[in-house]
Each structure stands twice: as structure tokens, then as C-alpha cells.
Amino acid sequence: MTLLECINGPEDLKILSQDQLTRLAGEIRDVLVDTVTKTSGHLGPNLGVVELTIAIHRVFDSPRDRIVFDTGHQAYVHKLLTGRLARFGTLRQRGGLTGYPSRAESEHDMVENSHASTSLSYADGLAKAYKLRGEPDRTVVAVIGDGALTGGMAWEALNNIAAARDSRLIMIVNDNGWSYQPTIGGLAEHLAAIRVNPRYEHVLDYIKTTLPRAPLVGAPLYGTLHGIKKGIKDVLQPQVMFEDLGLKYVGPIDGHDERQVETALRRARDFGGPVLLHVITRKGFGYPAAEQNEIDCLHQVPGPSSAAPGTWSRVFGDEMLAIGARRPDVVAITAAMLYPTGLAQFAAAFPDRVYDVGIAEQHAVTSAAGLAMGGLHPVVAIYSTFLNRAFDQTLMDVGLHRLPVTFVLDRAGVTGPDGASHHGMWDGSLMQLVPGMKIAAPRDAKRVAELLNQAVEVSDGPTVVRFPKGNVGGEVEAVAKLGGMDVLREPGEDRDVLLVGVGPMALTGLEVAGRLTGHGIGVTVVDPRWTKPVDEALIGAARRHRLVAVVEDNGRVGGFGDAVARLLRDHDVDVPVKTFGLPQEFLAHGTREEVLEEAGLTAQQLALRITEAVARRTPASPASSASPASPASPASSAGASSAEDQDTPEPRPVE
């Protein structure tokens, strides 16, 4: 039996000797490599925090003392030390352990949100709550990486933590010089300087022993220099930025020396107020394949997180490169996602036209607004779920000024094993709220290129191009046009269902149509291409069918389906609308196929539900199907402020 197999909880760590701890660290790394290379997941970050996590659990008493992991992708070691070894092989599998902390899994897990830069705010609130509840012996530990520390929210929290001088709060900065890729920006340069510069005391000692020997000016000059001691620290030890906030700073220390980390943590715990402990670690430590990986130290496996050929991200990256070659005004912005979003080629070709702002989505969007005001056309490439963090900036800084900014939202819709906080199921609804926004959803690789080129040609407002994670499917050409939309399939004489499929769900719509045809149901399949504004050609098309079905890989509430239903209501189209999308819930992890099946969005499930809906309707009479369009009310775009904001009504039962 291994040592790790004997660890049922943190209390078992406290009786181990130093030699046993070293052996345990090796066993943990073996399990990480063996498991994560099979299940997929975040390997490099967890290899780098083995000793740090062991030390945390030896010093603090979880769950009474609360441990908050920023982002949470580095919590695998924590899972192994809190009784989850037996289930670790189910990591990121449907029904298995999540890739992030989970309150449903363990009482030792506190925060599930895997968006960065939030841990210090959680910890600030927890520490204040324990004080008010009369529990002054409870300590809160926040583990935040140097990448997450570049986020503005972290600094807002630091500003408030510094004012709470008696909060029992330990902030551990896990500094490995990386987030997804190498951490960038001024803060990163400061932290890098700490790793290599001599301690300021050495310089001060030299000044103190040397300058007084100089006649007349020596002593006065030393006194002056001593008075600006802080200035010397600014130059040689940039941790002064934390001390100037009023925070006790400890470090930097070697994060792979468990004994040293443990000693520092005990001192920080006993201080009685907020302490920032600066720990230097190496991402991928102990596994040569990760340490030597130049792209991201095996941040996530399988493979590097750069956009592989055949993926949606790579298709975008290839077209972005072509656009950049002929459009010198097009620039790219990303938030620590240069490789995953497919911008690596663009960056190599046009290094002066790429801005990686670090984990700072809000800044990215407003900086893009400034670039657009300056005469450029910025393309902001980030994951769909992370645009949630910058909605206000998208609405008020970009939308209000009708600026030509293109948002490319990778990982839109169901993303799979990363779970609830990574599903890109919100943007299709949030972006519908932005006046003047145009939203494109390509169904295949060719449409990515077409719609991206159309988006960057828009000069009077913002645009969105959204696509899912993974490999692009086969290409499907249109058989006809309906306004600006693509008709992918037309029925024979019977026009029973107008099926509108958004993005890749249009291809699912073709499968549905094939199944329904076998049941004698005529289906027209349409890819809208642009989901905002809604193409008004749908009005006439809806009148020619008995049922409208909208299928989208987005939350049902406020999405494209609701916009279609609203458009038809505004024009008095008396045809029922069925909207099929993701339930407005936090969806568990699993493969994309598993999550879509549970949401009822497979071709087989959709065909059954649409068949049932058609069966509940009386056949349309020839007179009604041929009747002229009723007088239209004033045109209403999907984003109009006067539009109703409600769920699509369920189908009316047959009388």
C-alpha cells in the first residue's frame, strides 16, 4: 500500500515525517501523470503545487479553516489529500469528480467558480463573517496564481483586505510565471524581478558601511538615502507594492521545499492579521515532459492548448491571418488565451498588432473600445464564458458608442468536461441585450471565414462571431437563400415545420429533418447565419408552415429562439413556436455529446419532440396557408427596447 492510499483526510498528513512527505509528493505526482494523461485535465498547474498543498493541509485544519483556490484548476492535489483518491480515475468524466472544487464532492471544497481573480474577494468576506460570528480562531487561506493576480478584481480585494487589519487571512501567491501562457504585464515583471534581484538590505548595508567614510557628505547622504529606503526597495524588491498597501509580506520562498513553506505558513497563521505569502514554484515540476514544454508546460492535456488543425479555433486563426495580411487596421486582443483561441499565427506574423492583456477581460474590452476610437478594428478573441465578466464594458463602452469591435467567442455553447462555469451558454442571450450588436453563428469552417470577414467589415457597431469547442464537422452548402439566411433543405409539397438551427445545430437540424421525412412531415431547414438582428424573411416563411422550431446551443431564456418568437408575435404571425435550447441551469460536466443528450438536443430526441408537437396541431387549411400577410406592425429588431422579454409559450393543444 502506498502512503497516498493511507491518506483519508488532512489529519493523516500531520503525523508524517519529512522523509515520508517527500515520498508522498512523489506518489502524488505519479498519480497525477498517470490519471490526467488518461482522463484529460490540468496537469502542469497541479504538478507545481504538490508541496505547497501538502504544507497547507499540515498547517491548517480544513474544513474548519477554509481554503479557497483561485480558478480551482490546481486543486487536484487537494482532492487527493481529502479522501478522493479512490474516485480520482473518474476525473472530468460524466458522473465522476469534477476538474474544479465541488461542494457536492467534499466538505473541504468551498468555491466552485473557476473564473480567475475571485479568491481574494471570497476570502475577504469569509474572514469578516467569521469575525462577526465570534469565531476568531478560524483562518481563511486563499491560493492565487500570479496570472490571476493580474486581474483587476484581485487588486480591488487587496485594497479592502489591507483595511481589515485583524482579519485572519493568508493570501498565498503561487508565482510560476504562467497563467495559461507566460504571465505578462507590469506586475509580472515586478514578480520576475523578485526572483533574481538581491535583497535591498544588502545594498543598504553597503551604503551604510561605505558612505559614512566620505568626509562631509557621507553621513548626511546616508541619512537621506536611509530616509528613502522605500525607494530603494521599489527598485530592488518590488514586494513593497504589497507593504505599501499595509499588508504583511513574506517571501519569496521556494514552493517546492515543503519544510520551508510549512514554516512560513505557521508564522503567517500566528501573525493574527492579513499576510501575503509569496511562493515561487515551477509549473509542471517533477515531470520532464511538462517542464520542457515551451508552449504551456502541459497546462492542460491531452496535447498543447494551441489550436490544433481541424478545430474551430484553428479555422478562425487561419482566416484571421489572411485578414491581417490585407487589413493593416485589424488588431487582435486576448486575455491570456493567445494559443487556445488560435491567435498564435497572427501574433507571429504581426507581433505589433496583438495585445495579450493577461486575465483582464474587462480591460480587454474597454481597451478595444479605445483602439476602435483610434481608427482600428480590434478583434477580441476570448472564451464565451469569460465575456460574462465584461458585459458592462461590452454594453456601455463598446455598444453605447457603436464602435466597430468584433468579439470572437470560442467555446460557445456546451464545452464538455470543464463543467458548469465553462459552458458558453450565456453569451447568446447576453449579447441579444446590446443595442446595435450583430451576432453571427457559423455552422461549418467555410462559414467561419465568411462570417468573420463580414463582421470585420461592419463599421457602425459591434459584432460577435461565436463557435463551439472541438473539431469542425463537414461542410454543408445552401440549396437556396431566404433573405440573408441559408436554406439547407426544402420539403416537397408539405410545409409542416420550419426548423431554424443556429450554428452547428443547423447540421443537427438536417438530421432531424431526415427522421421527420420518414414520418411524412415536411421540414424546411434554415441556418440564420446572423442571429441578431433576426432576419425578417422568417415572418413570411413562418406563415407558410404549421410550426416553427428553433434549435440553439445556448440557454433558452433570452436567446435566439425567444427573439424569433418575439418577432413573429410583433407581426401577428399566428404560428406556434417551439424553442429548443439548453435549460437555464448550471450544467454538470461531461462530454459535449453527453450534455447535449441530457438537454434533449440530439437529433433523435428533437425529432420525437417535434413529431409530437406536429401531431397536436390541426392541419392548416389551404385558405389559411395561402392567405396574404396581415398588416405588419412597425418592424421590431430582436434588440429593440420595446420587445417583450418572456419565454416562448408552449404549443396550443388541439381543440
Supply the residues annotated as catalytic: 283, 361, 389
Q: Kindly state the DSSP code that residue 646 receives in the 8-state scheme.
A: -
- Calculated CA dihedral for residues 419, 421, 424, 427, nearest 10 degrees: 160
Structure-block grid coordinates of residue 534: 433576426
CA 274, 280, 285, 286 dihedral sign is negative
CA 37, 39, 45, 46 dihedral sign is negative
Cell 493570501 belongs to which residue?
171
Q: Kindly state the DSSP code that residue 398 receives in the 8-state scheme.
A: I
Neighbours of 558 (CB within 10 A): 20
- 169 beta partners: 140
CA distance 14 to 537: 69
Q: How many helices (H) and strands (E) does the chain have?
A: 26, 18
- Calculated CA dihedral for residues 286, 291, 293, 299, nearest 10 degrees: 70
Most distant CA pair in the chain: distance in Å?
Answer: 110
Q: Kindly state the DSSP code that residue 182 receives in the 8-state scheme.
A: B
Residues sharing a CB contact under 8 Å with residue 621, sequence separation 6 or more, in sequence order: none
Contact of 409 with 583, CB cutoff 8 Å: no
Residues sharing a CB contact under 8 Å with residue 563, sequence separation 6 or more, in sequence order: 432, 531, 532, 534, 638, 643
Neighbours of 279 (CB within 10 A): 28
Question: Which has the closest alpha carbon to 70: 184, 179, 193?
Answer: 179
Contact of 431 with 464, CB cutoff 8 Å: yes
CA distance 408 to 552: 18
CA distance 318 to 467: 15
Question: Which has the closest alpha carbon to 173: 144, 214, 204?
Answer: 144
Rg of the chain's alpha carbons, rounded to an integer? 28
Residues sharing a CB contact under 8 Å with residue 123, sequence separation 6 or more, in sequence order: 66, 68, 140, 141, 142, 157, 161, 169, 171
CA distance 279 to 261: 8
**Helix or strand run (H / E) with residue 55:** helix 50-59
Structure-block grid coordinates of residue 180: 495559461
Q: Do strands 485-489 and 480-482 pair parallel, antiparallel, or not at all (unpaired)?
A: antiparallel
